[in-house]
Amino acid sequence: MLQVEILPVLDDNYIFVLHDAASGATAVVDPAEAEPVLAFLQRKGWRLDYVLNTHHHWDHVGGNLELHGATGCRIAGARADKDRIPGLDTFLAEGDRLALGDNVIEVLEVPGHTRAHLAYWLPQAKRLFCGDTLFGLGCGRLFEGSAEQMWASLQKLAALPGETLVYCAHEYTQANGRFARTVEPGNGALAERLRRVAELRDRNESTVPSTLAEEVATNPFLRPSSAEIRATLGLERAADLQVFVALRCRKDSFKA
Q: Would the annotation count 170 as a binding residue?
A: yes
57 noted as active-site residue:
yes
19 noted as active-site residue:
no
Q: Would the annotation count 55 as a binding residue?
A: yes
Q: Would the annotation count 19 as a binding residue?
A: no
Q: Would the annotation count 57 as a binding residue?
A: yes
Out of 20, 30, 49, 132, the active site residue is 132
102 noted as active-site residue:
no
Out of 60, 68, 81, 117, the active site residue is 60
113 noted as active-site residue:
yes
Out of 19, 56, 68, 113, the active site residue is 113
- φ and ψ at residue 20, rounded to 5 degrees: -95, 110
Out of 19, 57, 68, 117, the active site residue is 57
CA-wise closest residue to 149 among 117, 105, 121, 185:
117
DSSP at 81: G
Out of 55, 56, 68, 117, the active site residue is 55
Q: Would the annotation count 117 as a binding residue?
A: no
CA distance from start to end of the chain: 41
CA–CA separation, 239 vs 250, rounded Å? 17
Cα dihedral 37, 43, 48, 54 in deg (nearest 10): -30
How do 127-131 and 134-135 pair as beta strands? unpaired
The binding site for Zn(2+) comprises: 55, 57, 59-60, 113, 132, 170
Catalytic residues: 55, 57, 59-60, 113, 132, 170
User: Where is the binding site, in residues?
Assistant: 55, 57, 59-60, 113, 132, 170
